[in-house]
A and B are shown apart, each in its own frame.
Chain A
Amino acid sequence: GAGVSQSPRYKVAKRGQDVALRCDPISGHVSLFWYQQALGQGPEFLTYFQNEAQLDKSGLPSDRFFAERPEGSVSTLKIQRTQQEDSAVYLCASSKSRHLPHGYTFGSGTRLTVV
């Protein structure tokens, strides 16, 4: 597709439930990023892939968060045993090999609400 596609757009999870968020990057984009945006905050880095390799996962807040990109294209962010503080918009972005200076392209995000 023409842009970064994320699904679902909205997800309501009961506390303790596992969730999986999907990201389809722009075709041919080598780099893929996940960011978390809490209400009233800017996006915060979670993790970064170059092709299938996860090169930086320093932003993942706990071991309940896990991301994968097994074939270097579609990526899934999984959150186990969701907590209320996980409620946020999860943004996926992709770019060609080096994103600077043009930045990367974000998807519209998945809004996760944990109740």
Chain B
Amino acid sequence: DQQVKQNSPSLSVQEGRISILNCDYTNSMFDYFLWYKKYPAEGPTFLISISSIKDKNEDGRFTVFLNKSAKHLSLHIVPSQPGDSAVYFCAAGEEGGSEKLVFGKGTKLTVNP
């Protein structure tokens, strides 16, 4: 039973357009959510996070939206750039619990020039 689900294995967008990556979770104890980006042969790198007390967090071209009632979050990248092509992982954790994170399977984003 996957607690964090990324149902789209891949996404292809045109340079300059918006990329929207989605993530669903089942565990209502999660109160912190993070997005990581991964290039081939490298470890994941932290991108942006959001606490469950917020519904939006923005950092430059990246915005994460959280809908707690739907147990759904999304990452928006605007405008998308070819360098954004990577695998994006959604992860969730409990602030007051163990430090571990639960990851989704990832979505491979391809931004075409």
Contact = CB atoms under 8 A, between A and B. Distances in A.
A1 interface: no
A75 B111 CA distance: 37
Interface residues of A, number: 31
Interface residues of B, number: 26
A42 B4 CA distance: 10
Contact of B46 (A44, A58, A102): A102
Main secondary structure of the interface of A (DSSP, over half): loop
A106 B105 contact: no
A28 interface: no
Nearest to A97: B99
Nearest to A99: B99
Contact of A108 (B6, B43, B49, B98): B43
B103 interface: yes
A42 B104 contact: yes
Interface stretch (B13-21, B34-42, B72-80): B34-42
Contact of A100 (B43, B93, B104, B105): B93
A43 B44 contact: yes
Interface of B: 4, 6, 32, 34, 36, 41-46, 49, 51, 89, 91, 93, 95, 98-106
